Structure 1
Amino acid sequence: MSGFFQRLQALPPRRQQAFMAALCERLVPNYALYAEATGQGDVKGLRAVLDLVWERLAVKEARIDFERQAEKLAGLEPPAEDDSFGARRALEAVVALSALLDTLRGEAPEAVLEVSRASRGGVRAFIELTEGEEDAERLAALVREHPLMADENDFQDAVLEAVEGNLDRDALKALRRLGRNEGVSNLGLGGEE
């Protein structure tokens, strides 16, 4: 795993941003499901901010006020008092996109690692919730061997390989499709669209 993180950190900022954008795409359905279930949040607002990120990745000259986008994004977080599983996963989507915006504003060298870990962490939490294993050692083994975690690791590997290659417009479109994962999130849940 450490080799993976070294490769991630070695990427130039634009490639890191493309990696994070693809992971954010896969987190959007979790946010969408939360918004649908609770009436909290705004999927269109979240999607609009992420769309601007993709636009900036495709068109370097795109003039986008990411300070303003970060302010909008902050307003999309689930209420602080909601500590439900759905709210935490929705918050992960917002926090991941927020970390990505930080890099577009020229800060946050660790953001790419945070987004990668947040996505894996959500999968781990989901497995812990659904499998309900009390024994920490058995739970750790279960998480490692779980199909959802294998899928998450494969997905992140595929995204990393994609961003290490050519990143022209077509490659970015393909990367976005990969991230959208036909509307299925990193938890294997479908939402949005």
Structure 2
Amino acid sequence: MSQPTGGFHQRLQALAAHQRQAFMAALCERLLPNYALYAQMTGAGNPAGVRAILDLVWEQLSVREARIDFERQAEKLAELEPPADDDSFGARRAVEVVVALASLLDTLRGEAPDAVLEVSRISKSGVRAFIEMTESEEDASRLSKLVREHPLMADENDFQDAVLEAAEKPLDRDALKALRRLGRNDGVSNLGLEAG
């Protein structure tokens, strides 16, 4: 099977708008358990509320005629963000979920050409932060090599490659369902964590 030409970012930017949205929705699916874990640990947040907004995105992607007020959804999402004064690791990962989903909603409300790169970057930077926290390596160059070669980062890169490959194909309902399943990743987040 031949690989599409061009680097990862070029291929992302070459996607049609609905393909980019499907790519971002799949990444948001995989980020969602991080928000759920934050809510479990702190009693704050509303995973069901975030889930409902993401479900509406999938509905819009698979039912072209769907009329969903994404302005209103963006307002609801803003209310679900962890408090700004919570600087815990879990809160920062939960904020990433909200920011990634907000970027996706931006594309449904109008033009946001860089949103797809932003969501890809958010997912990778969460993995990097998790590795940096768990490895406690002081030396910057050793740490950056550790991050690059870490199994979680390899898994993140493979996952994004697989999602991109799926998003590059024609996205009928079955293909979208498969992409959503891929994003759900059996309930395991990009950090290798599961909400109980």
User: Which bin holds the TM-score, normalised by the shorter protein?
Assistant: over 0.9
Supply the distance in 1 between the matched residues of 2:64 and 2:106 (Cα, whole angstroms): 17
Supply the distance in 2 between the matched residues of 1:49 and 1:36 (Cα, whole angstroms): 19
1:10-25 to structure 2, matched below 5 A, reads 10-25=14-29
2:3 corresponds to which residue?
none
Q: SS of the residue aligned with 2:34? A: helix
Give CA deviations for 1:13-64 in whole Å, capped at 9, x if unaligned: 1000000000000000000000010011000000000000000000111000
Q: Which of these residues, 39, 48, 51, is aligned with residue 47 of structure 1?
A: 51
Q: Which of these residues, 138, 141, 152, is aligned with residue 137 of structure 1?
A: 141
1:191 CA drift (Å): 1.1
Give CA deviations for 1:104-147 in whole Å, capped at 9, x if unaligned: 00121100000000000000000000001111100010000000
2:120 corresponds to which residue?
116
Structure 2, unmatched stretches of 5+, are 1-5
Q: Which of these residues, 179, 185, 188, is aligned with residue 189 of structure 2?
A: 185
Supply the distance in 2 between the matched residues of 1:23 and 1:174 (Cα, whole angstroms): 13
After the TM superposition, which segments of 4 or more aligned residues of structure 1 sit over 4 Å from their partners?
none
Structure 1, unmatched stretches of 5+, are none
Code of the residue aligned with 1:107 in structure 2: it is E
Give CA deviations for 1:66-105 in whole Å, capped at 9, x if unaligned: 0000000000000000000000000000000000000000
How many correspondences in the alignment? Answer: 191
Q: SS of the residue aligned with 2:138? A: coil
Supply the distance in 1 between the matched residues of 2:142 and 2:70 (Cα, whole angstroms): 43
Supply the distance in 1 between the matched residues of 2:91 and 2:24 (Cα, whole angstroms): 21
Q: Which of these residues, 102, 111, 132, is aligned with residue 128 of structure 1?
A: 132
Give the TM-score normalised by structure 1: 0.98
1:160 CA drift (Å): 0.2
Q: SS of the residue aligned with 2:29? A: helix
Identity of aligned residues (%): 79
